[in-house]
Structures are given as structure tokens and as C-alpha cells.
A and B are shown apart, each in its own frame.
Chain A
Amino acid sequence: EVQLVGSGGGLVQPGGSLRLSCAASGFTFSSYWMHWVRQAPGKGLVWVSHINTDGSTTSYADSVKGRFTISRDNAKNTLYLQMNSLRAEDTAVYYCARRGYDILTGYYHFDYWGQGTLVTVSS
């Protein structure tokens, strides 16, 4: 069974740092691109970042570029999001998600999601 378990969220002051983790199991983690998506309280889904299979390619939403860093440890089956210089507007539930690929259609999608971890930025 595919499982993604997020952790590391909590309350942090503006300007502070936090590192989120997403532990993967039930599939070959090193074969999949991974993403972070966030959702502010009562709001919609916003893509944050992605990383390719070996970590050599990453991308970020403009709102977090230069402050957040995505990484992965394929030996530990774990995805990370290092968040620095946090702002109140970064307050959200952060989800990790696996990018799935359908061989028949050739299309991508986010097929499995973690349960989410809440980050609250407040003084």
C-alpha cells in the first residue's frame, strides 16, 4: 500500500525556519517525481515545489523561491522541504504528493497525497 506520511509542522515565528519531511512507503520512491502543495486555512490548493527522481531538477512557486528548498533522500525514502524566512502568508497545511504517470494515456497526475502537516507562522 502506498503511503506518504508528512511531519515537521508546527508554530514558528516570522523569519524563522522549519523543515518538513514526507516518509514514503509501499512503492519505489526513487522512481517518482515528488511535489509539495499547500493549502491556507479555508482556501484552495497551491503548488509549491517539485523535485525529479534523483534530485537534480527542482522548481518553485514564485512566492517561495529563494526561501524554500526541496530535497530528497532516496536511501531513506524521504522527501524534505526546508522553509526559511517564513512569513505569515506561509501559514498552511503542507501536503506532499507523488506524481503518477499513466502508461496507457501518457498523462501525469498527483495520484497519492500525504495527510498534510500544518505550519503556522505567527508571533
Chain B
Amino acid sequence: DIQLTQSPSFLSASVGDRVTITCRASQGISSYLAWYQQKPGKAPKLLIFAASTLQSGVPSRFSGSGSGTEFTLTVYSLQPEDFATYFCQQLNSYPPTFGQGTRLEIK
């Protein structure tokens, strides 16, 4: 199985900050990477797919990049509603696997 390692696992930031989360794959996955946001008690929400394509309706302050084994999710100018947990997911091969998550909390 392909392992995804996110860093950091925990992030503390302020409204207006720019933050970057990294996702590293144990082997190359081309651009078969998605990012999800999850708030407590809620289902995950798709933010980005194909490593850098913004899902319809997602604010443009979210941006994804990378290919192969290293990927990043950047949130420009954090808003109060962005404080949540973020997961990456690879869809290059079965089983589809997820990173362990990055919890973003307000400073």
C-alpha cells in the first residue's frame, strides 16, 4: 500500500496567516492526490483534486501543488472557518490511502 505522510500533524496559526501543509507519498503517484477538509462531527469535504485543481465552490485562497511524491496545500489568508483538520488522499492505486491528518488550530 502507498503510505502518505503529512507534516506537520498540528499547526497553530492566526486569522490572516498563510499556512502550508505537506503530504509525502511512499512512491510516485503522479498527480493522483486530493485534499479534504474535515470539521468536528462532520464529513470530509473535497477541496482539491488532481493535486492542484480546485473543487467547484471552494474559495480561491486554497491552493494545491506538487506531483510524484511531494505535494503541498497552501491556505492564503486564513479565515475563521478554515480551522479544521486536513487530509491528503492518493488515488493512484488501490487501496486508496489517506494521510494521518493535519489539525489546524487558531492561535
Contacts and interface: CB of A to CB of B under 8 A. Distances in A.
A109 to B, nearest CB: 4
Interface residues of A, number: 22
Interface residues of B, number: 25
A100 B38 CA distance: 18
Nearest to B38: A45
User: Chain A: interface secondary structure?
Assistant: strand
Given A95-B43, A113-B43, A107 B98 contact: no
Interface in A60-77: 61
Interface of A: 35, 44-47, 50, 59, 61, 95, 100, 102, 104-105, 107-111, 113-116
Given A59-B94, A61-B95, A115 B43 contact: yes
B53 A107 contact: yes
Contact of A111 (B32, B55, B96, B101): B55
